[in-house]
Amino acid sequence: MSTEVTAASDYLDPRFLDRVKKMDVRARLVVEGFITGQHRSPYNGFAVEFATHREYAPGDDLRHIDWKVWSKTDRLYIKEYEEETNLKCTILLDCSKSMQYGEPGAEAMNKFDYAATTAASLAYLMQQQQDAVGMVFFSNQIDKNLKPSSHPSHLKLMLHELDQVKPHAATDVANIFQQLAGQIRQRGMVVLVSDLFLDPAQLAQSLQQFRLRHHEVIVFHVMHQDELTFPFQENTLFRGLEVDAQLHTEPRALRASYLEAVDNNMKEVRKACAGLGVDHVLLDTGKPLDAALTGYLAFRQKRRKTLLRR
């Protein structure tokens, strides 16, 4: 393995990033490390929008023929596309207490640091594309709403706010997402970064508020490594972060049923997202952060291919 790729991998390691306290430095390291590891620029071909028609000429790709126009005019026309230049993206960051889970210095970052670094990296990457990015911090209310902008100073503001925010309160998205959906008037992209500690039916109903307004939606589902593997062996006291409850138990007796419950919940979440045409990307806090960027790019490429097939 080359030194270049090894260095990129180091930048994406959660244990390394946990020692980097400034969010602007974290975001830059993640994005630049990701680009180096990919050996190609991710800034090309993210998405396209329909631009115009032109008459079919021999040799044109038949996949780009607009058959609806043909059915009405009996003439063949080709759809032409252009690269998007004014994408507006709003990143919704969950700042509820459940996002605090994770011990300092452990193998994995805590959920909030991982989620915040993901949000910062996505914002940094999209501004490199001259896209307008905004960020909303929420728990059981909208704590801060930074409207989308492509100005470099706006990125600095978002990263500064990420440095300051602390998880608090409980998760409640029902009224929040309805309120936000009404405020985000121009069609664009909505990115949710959350541990999704809510009922999948409520999640679907809340995300639908954005889909009804024709926004593209992608969900980054942040789970701590402990939540996915349940590694506890000795008698353990579990305390609720969003509810006043605790349980002292033998974890090995619970492991199988716990993992089954997590798996069932994950299936319901994926089903809810798929039913709305929303992409769901699972993020494990113990794994490198390029998962977030890879998921985002996969989503954009998928949308681009869908447009080109129309």
Structure confidence at residue 84 as a pLDDT band (50, 70, 90)? very low
Band of pLDDT at residue 113, cut at 50, 70 and 90? very high
Contact 45, 145 (CB under 8 A): no
Q: How large a percentage of the chain has pLDDT more than 70? A: 85
pLDDT at residue 28 is higher than 50: yes
| Class of 86-298 in CATH | alpha beta
- Average pLDDT of every residue of the chain: 83
- On whether the CB atoms of residues 85 and 47 are closer than 8 A, the answer is no
Which pLDDT band, with edges at 50, 70 and 90, does 38 fall under? low
- Reply yes or no on whether the pLDDT at 46 is more than 70: no
In a 13 Å sphere around the CA of 142, the CA atoms on its Cβ side amount to 17
Q: Which of 66-70, 97-101, 174-178, 236-240 has the highest mean pLDDT?
A: 97-101
What residue spans in the chain does CATH classification 3.40.50.410 cover?
Answer: 86-298
The b-or-e profile of 10-23 (16+ CB within 10 A means b, else e) is ebbbbeebbebeeb
- The DSSP code for 225 is H
**Contact criterion met (CB below 8 Å) for 80 and 54:** yes
| Residues 255-273 pLDDT 10s | 999 999 999 999 999 999 9
Q: Cα–Cα distance between 92 and 177 in angstroms, integer?
A: 9
The pLDDT tens digits for 129-145 are: 889 999 999 999 999 99
pLDDT > 70? residue 305: no
pTM for the model stands at 0.80
